Amino acid sequence: MEKAKRMSDIFASSAEKETSGMTATATPYSSEGPTLPIIGADTERSANDTDKARITNDQETNRAQPVPTIHSSLYEPWTLLPNELVNLLTLQARLRGTQNIVPVVFTKNQNVKSGINRLKTYLGAYKDEIQPMDIPEALTRPDAIIAVSAQGDGTAKLVSILDVARRVVAPSIKEKKMVEEIGTKINTWWLYTSLTSVEVEKKARVTSGANDGEKLDAKVRAKQINEDSEDEAFEPMDVDMPVRQKEQRQKKKIKAPVLTVWLTKNQIPAFKDAFGEQSFEVKSLPQDD
């Protein structure tokens, strides 16, 4: 007959089984590498991503920077006139470059008050006692011409400033009757408006984000692929290369309108025939004794 087991033996054997089972399922230590995450790995990755994003943004900014808004010829507006007209006025000694022409250039960001005060000063109707404005030497000549020019979007600002300035310098009916008593003088100025154009580079297209930039790049690449496939059908000759290069340069430029308003105390018949003529009165400041 089998000998009965004690309760202590039964519990001891069961405890040994549980211990052996737990030991079997334990994860062994590995010496191949650290089991903890590498400190600073995420930080380096995020820093690299930030640098890449910054570089991308800088590249987008460089591409989106606008071209200069003022063409150099606006400071020499007589160079934009037709050659026949320039030759005629040169023979008549009415156009003498910087000797009798005062260029004034306005942009779309021009301060309205500053522009009005400049025109009032040049027309002899205003003087800032606190910050006097320098008067160009050419403006002291009897045949002086004020050439007010603007390009592209700045033409609207020019028209607004000139319109306000003309109304401000105009004498009232009462002032006309009291000219001698007030000690002022009313001068008549003549106005001629010419419209020309200059070639400027196209402004870079500004994208609102990375997705828009990727879409734009994809469209550009697709267009280039189509153009390349079409060009492969017709092999260009060496003779055509200068023409193709010239066409590519022309595609990168556009014509911007240039508005120039010529103001003078003496009539210019040649300007009248070419551009028409207007006149307005200016209430001049009293002459210094």
Check residue 205 and give its pLDDT.
54
Helix orientation angle between 112-122 and 154-169, rounded to the nearest 10 degrees: 50
Check residue 285 and give its pLDDT.
84
End-to-end Cα distance, the chain = 149
Residues with Cβ within 8 Å of 103's Cβ and at least 6 positions away in sequence, in order, are 74, 75, 76, 77, 147, 149
Check residue 197 and give its pLDDT.
94
* 166-202 pLDDT tens trace: 999 999 888 888 776 776 789 999 999 999 999 988 7
Check residue 200 and give its pLDDT.
87
**Residue 195 and residue 149: Cα distance in Å, rounded?**
10
Instruction: List the chain residues with pLDDT less than 50.
Output: 11, 15, 18-37, 39, 60-67, 206-210, 232-234, 289
**Residue 27 and residue 35: Cα distance in Å, rounded?**
12
Determine contact, residues 200/253, Cβ cutoff 8 Å.
Answer: yes
**Residue 163 and residue 145: Cα distance in Å, rounded?**
18
